[in-house]
Amino acid sequence: METPCSLSAKFEGSFAYYTVKDRMPQILTKVIDTVHRNKNKFLELHGEEGIEAEKKALSFFSKLRNEMQTDKPILPLTDEWPDTQIWNQYLDYQKTLLSDGEEPSWFRSPWLYVECYLYRRIQEGLWLSPPVSEYDVFRDVKNQSFFQSQQAILALCSHLQEIKGKVNVLSNDEVRDEIYKLVQVSLWGNRCDLSISGGQDNSQKTSILSSLEDFQAFILVDDMNSVWNILSKNRDGNTESRTRVDIVLDNAGFELVTDLVLADAIMSLGLATEVHFHGKVMPWYVSDTTKHDFDWTVQQCLAINNKWMSKCGQTWKENLKKRRWVYHEHLFWTLPHEYCTMAEVAPDLYTELQKSDLVFFKGDLNYRKLTGDRKWDFIVPFSQALRSFHPAPLCSVRTLKADVQVGLQTGVGERLTATDTDWLISGKYGIIQFSPVV
């Protein structure tokens, strides 16, 4: 049964609510510290104007922290960006979900909405503080997380070059095994996000490859067969035809490298002719990938003094130049909307995804938006929880960090709840969950 999805119709199920008291103020405090610490840099770059901007941004963020901690009403955005109106209309929509006269506030709104709103307000604070408007408050932690994962990245890059060295002799089963390994690496790479850690180091210190077998028991849904059925069609098929894989990216740092390695292997092993990446237009959930992070990562790999890593960097740069790899930005990814509204809110993006043979959605936030962050029963089929969102065959590759999960075998959710109270939010478990176009 198709569950309705429309901004104008009230949805029957309930949103996941959550306390905003812990991690969100902590992230805002980090933002305040970072802006303050960079005062001298702003002075160097912009003179007195830079100092004025720093003061203005700090006062905005302190006020914002107070609004959040004292459960004030959610305020409309006051900047003038292409998405401002959409956000403000969404606030009006939130009002329709409450009883008459009630105002959406920080504690009385869906968690997905207020958490996205927090990051958009941080951006508002910067945009209203020129000339520091373009400053990415999370850039330093993102870059550090890349450097702290260097050993794991080196191991992964050399593994990739090894596979590429034997492309012509690998059997179909061996190709499948290699891709399966790299999908798992990309899955566990999703543990490294900096939003769950409140901005603290959460990098990958050692190679994941040698731990895959131990982690296998923690994959709660493994639809690799369906993923492989799609990818292998391309390998068996006509070499002249174009086949496209999309990756809706999540975190920069180690996770992004795992995605680039997977994309490289998919193309090198003849499973797609082009890969399209989708990133965020503004700093988001601390570690999410922006265009700057993407280019920076490719450049860092290229420039490093290690044969395998720089070989990866060279290939990736070349792929981008030849447009075998295409990077896309769309402001829909930084809206609070669940994905079943994409066809209505961002029809151009929906049409773009329809061109894909397979879309990977990385990470937890994407999963929450795919499923609307609703309190689904654990056994509801994934395709049903997606409601009208079926642009192409898709696969969520995500570690569990928020309490929404669908498509489990009967009894699995209940058994885990009884034995491991944190199973939904600890990032210890993962899924490779597929949906065909229905």
Site for ligand F6P, rule CB under 6 A: 115, 190, 193, 195-196, 250-251, 285, 363-365, 368, 401-402
Shortest distance, position 263 Cβ to ligand F6P, whole Å: 18
- Residue whose CB is less far from ligand F6P, 176 or 369: 369
Shortest distance, position 128 Cβ to ligand F6P, whole Å: 24
If binding means CB under 5 A, how many residues of this protein chain bind Mg ion? 5
**Interacting residues of 363 by C-beta distance below 8 A, sequence separation 6+:** 190, 193, 250, 251, 255, 397, 398, 399
Query: Is residue 290 part of the contact set for Mg ion (CB under 5 A)?
Result: no
Query: Is residue 429 part of the contact set for Mg ion (CB under 5 A)?
Result: no
Distance from C-alpha of 271 to C-alpha of 175, rounded to nearest angstrom: 10
Order of strands across the sheet with 244-248? 219-222, 430-435, 394-399, 358-362, 244-248, 274-279, 325-329
Gyration radius (Cα) of the chain, Å: 22
Shortest distance, position 251 Cβ to Mg ion, whole Å: 4
Residues present in the chain in total: 438
Partner interacting with residue 196 (select from Mg ion, ligand F6P, none; CB below 5-8 Å by kind)? ligand F6P
What the block records as the tokens of 106 is 């920080």
Partner interacting with residue 115 (select from ligand F6P, Mg ion, none; CB below 5-8 Å by kind)? ligand F6P
Query: Is residue 223 part of the contact set for Mg ion (CB under 5 A)?
Result: no
Q: Is beta strand 244-248 parallel, antiparallel or unpaired with respect to 325-329?
A: unpaired
CA torsion through residues 27, 260, 151, 313, sign: negative
Shortest distance, position 141 Cβ to Mg ion, whole Å: 12
Query: Is residue 193 part of the contact set for Mg ion (CB under 5 A)?
Result: yes
Q: Are 185 and 430 in contact (CB under 8 A)?
A: no
Distance from C-alpha of 397 to C-alpha of 179, rounded to nearest angstrom: 13
Query: Is residue 251 part of the contact set for Mg ion (CB under 5 A)?
Result: yes
- Residue whose CB is less far from ligand F6P, 28 or 269: 28
Other Cβ atoms less than 10 A from the Cβ of 101: the count is: 6
Is residue 283 reached through a cis peptide bond, with omega within 30 degrees of 0 on the bond before it? no
- Per-residue interface string for the shown chain with Mg ion, residues 161-190, x marking contact by CB under 5 A: ------------------------------
Query: Is residue 259 part of the contact set for Mg ion (CB under 5 A)?
Result: no
Shortest distance, position 286 Cβ to ligand F6P, whole Å: 8
Query: Is residue 83 part of the contact set for Mg ion (CB under 5 A)?
Result: no
- Residue whose CB is less far from ligand F6P, 191 or 387: 191
Shortest distance, position 173 Cβ to ligand F6P, whole Å: 31
Q: Decide: residue 40, CB within 10 A, 0-12 exposed, 13-18 middle, 19+ buried.
A: exposed
- Residue whose CB is less far from Mg ion, 251 or 297: 251
Query: Is residue 361 part of the contact set for Mg ion (CB under 5 A)?
Result: no
Name the segment binding Mg ion (CB under 5 A); options: 56-64, 170-178, 283-291, 383-391. Answer: 283-291
Q: Are 291 and 299 in contact (CB under 8 A)?
A: no
Contact residues toward Mg ion (CB under 5 A) are 193, 250-251, 285, 288
